[in-house]
Amino acid sequence: MKSKTEHLTFNLPTRMGFLNITPEVERIVRESGVREGLVLVNAMHITASVFINDDESGLHADYQKWLEQLAPFDPSPKRYAHNRTGEDNADAHMKRQIMGREVVVAITAGKLDFGPWEQIFYGEFDGRRNKRVLVKVIGE
Amino acid sequence: MKSKTEHLTFNLPTRMGFLNITPEVERIVRESGVREGLVLVNAMHITASVFINDDESGLHADYQKWLEQLAPFDPSPKRYAHNRTGEDNADAHMKRQIMGREVVVAITAGKLDFGPWEQIFYGEFDGRRNKRVLVKVIGE
Amino acid sequence: MKSKTEHLTFNLPTRMGFLNITPEVERIVRESGVREGLVLVNAMHITASVFINDDESGLHADYQKWLEQLAPFDPSPKRYAHNRTGEDNADAHMKRQIMGREVVVAITAGKLDFGPWEQIFYGEFDGRRNKRVLVKVIGE
């Protein structure tokens, strides 16, 4: 069994935002030499997501509006108990649960085995600082 | 390490619907010859899900009603920016995030290592056309 | 390829609650002898979750309040069709979809490859009885 591990660092300029990280994951899979296996891609921070969806800016705007409705940003101590601890990001912990922590993608014949529109995104809900994503390839 | 890959195709007759695909996954695991390992099952389309839950029609009706409340179908260009691009399925991209893209299931002694009620479903949110599910088995 | 499987049993004293199971998963990874690989941790019941987030009691209270708003407990036969079958836990099946069934975590140099605040939780939405979590390690 072969394996390869890499930790990527991202710093998004906004509180919430999505970044297409498919090229980075493709590079790591290629460098791993794995032909048949799995790649795990996960946020290492608990106010961020890794998810697979469409690279369409209208959809991304819709996601942001929708997530804000489901779990509004509110730094006051009133709405969220977590924001009585000195934090202001309780909403980000919720948005991350909706969008998910991780994806696992099949590697077939040395490539990400993707449908026509699948792209991997880093989803940031408490940005403007360095945060990490883990990529782990296993297989043969 | 052994591996086996199969792409299944489904065409659900309704916009939203759930299909129990456990027998198909069991067959692929059996054919793989893997005794100890993992199987990844994921939607290859970004308006569909693979998830594990109960095979109970009342619950499935509840899920559909609940998802419709959380992310209503609305083909007009007003609610969703994505639906200004010629698409009408922005809601399906959201429903899929709630229900998830994929499941990873343990294989123990050659079988899906399941609790008493676990069943694997294909979840469709923009149906009436061919869509694919990937099954990838790895292990020994 | 090495593998190790263990089924853990939990019995939470409340209907809804979260339990930090990171030490148990760390022990199983250590005992597996796997240095590079993956560990799958999943609820074996369909009214429970395994998820990764922060071990902060205020946040956990916020999650419970938020999940109750998104999918209210209601044992009456009026709101949920599932609760016309003799069950009272339709809400728990929904809460579990928001929080997720499983996590897959990288093992690097023999340890869970975690960010600074990542902890693994068992999430219970229909407690007061024995329920199981599966831990499956694969790698080398």
Chain pair A-B, CB pairs under 8 angstroms:
91
Option in C70, C85, C132 nearest B56 (CB): C85
Chain centroid offset of residue A5 CA: 16
Q: What is the pLDDT of residue B113?
A: 98
Number of other CB atoms surrounding residue A76 within 10 Å: 9
For B83-107, write each residue's pLDDT tens digit.
999 999 999 999 999 999 999 999 9
DSSP class of residue B114 equals -
DSSP class of residue B16 equals S
**pLDDT bucket at B122, cuts 50 / 70 / 90:** very high
**Residues in chain A closer than 8 A to C62 (CB atoms):** 80-82, 90, 93-94
Q: What is the pLDDT of residue B58?
A: 98
For C58-105, write each residue's pLDDT tens digit.
999 999 999 999 999 999 999 999 999 999 999 999 999 999 999 999
Euclidean distance between CA atoms A90 and A74, whole angstroms: 8
Contact A63 B1 (CB under 8 A): no
Using CB atoms, list chains with 3+ pairs below 8 Å to chain C.
A, B
Contact C53 A90 (CB under 8 A): no
Give strand pairing partners of C134.
C7, C42
Residue of C nearest to B108 (CA): C5
Residue of B nearest to C78 (CA): B62
Contact A56 B82 (CB under 8 A): yes
Option in A5, A93, A96 nearest C106 (CB): A5
**pLDDT bucket at B117, cuts 50 / 70 / 90:** very high
Q: Does A20 touch chain C (CB under 8 A)?
A: no
Q: What is the pLDDT of residue A37?
A: 98
Q: How far is A39 from chain C (nearest CA, A)?
A: 10
A78 CB contacts (<8 Å, ≥6 apart)?
A: none
Q: What is the pLDDT of residue A132?
A: 98
ipTM higher than the 0.85 cut: yes
The CA-atom distances, in angstroms, between B99 and each of A20, A57, A99, B60 are 22, 22, 10, 12
Percentage of chain C exceeding pLDDT 90: 100
Q: Does B113 touch chain C (CB under 8 A)?
A: yes
Chain pair A-C, CB pairs under 8 angstroms:
91
Contact A51 B134 (CB under 8 A): no
Contact C106 A82 (CB under 8 A): no
**Residues in chain A closer than 8 A to B45 (CB atoms):** 115-117
Q: What is the pLDDT of residue C114?
A: 98
Option in C45, C83, C136 nearest B115 (CB): C45
Work out whether the CA dihedral B53, B24, B40, A62 comes out positive or negative. Answer: negative
Contact A140 B80 (CB under 8 A): no
Q: What is the pLDDT of residue A61?
A: 98
Q: Does C1 touch chain A (CB under 8 A)?
A: yes
User: Do A24 and A126 touch, CB atoms closer than 8 A?
Assistant: no
Q: Which of C20, C41, C56, C96 to mutate to test the interface with A (most CBs of A within 10 A)?
A: C56
Judged by CB atoms within 8 Å, which residues 49-88 of A form the interface with B?
Answer: 51-54, 56-59, 61-63, 66, 70
Structure token pair of residue C107: 């093992």
For B2-41, write each residue's pLDDT tens digit.
999 999 999 999 999 999 999 999 999 999 999 999 999 9
Q: Does A44 touch chain C (CB under 8 A)?
A: yes
The CA-atom distances, in angstroms, between B73 and each of B19, B85, B92, B131, C75 are 20, 16, 8, 20, 28
Q: How far is A40 from chain C (nearest CA, A)?
A: 8
A41 CB contacts (<8 Å, ≥6 apart)?
A: A21, A25, A50, A102, A103, A104, A105, A120, A133, A134, A135
Tell me the average pLDDT of chain C.
Answer: 98
For B101-115, write each residue's pLDDT tens digit.
999 999 999 999 999
Give strand pairing partners of B40.
B104, B136
Euclidean distance between CA atoms C5 and B139, whole angstroms: 13
Provide the Cα torsion B24, B26, B31, B33; round to 10°.
160
User: Do B113 and C134 touch, CB atoms closer than 8 A?
Assistant: yes
> Alpha helix locations (H) across C48-137?
57-70, 90-99
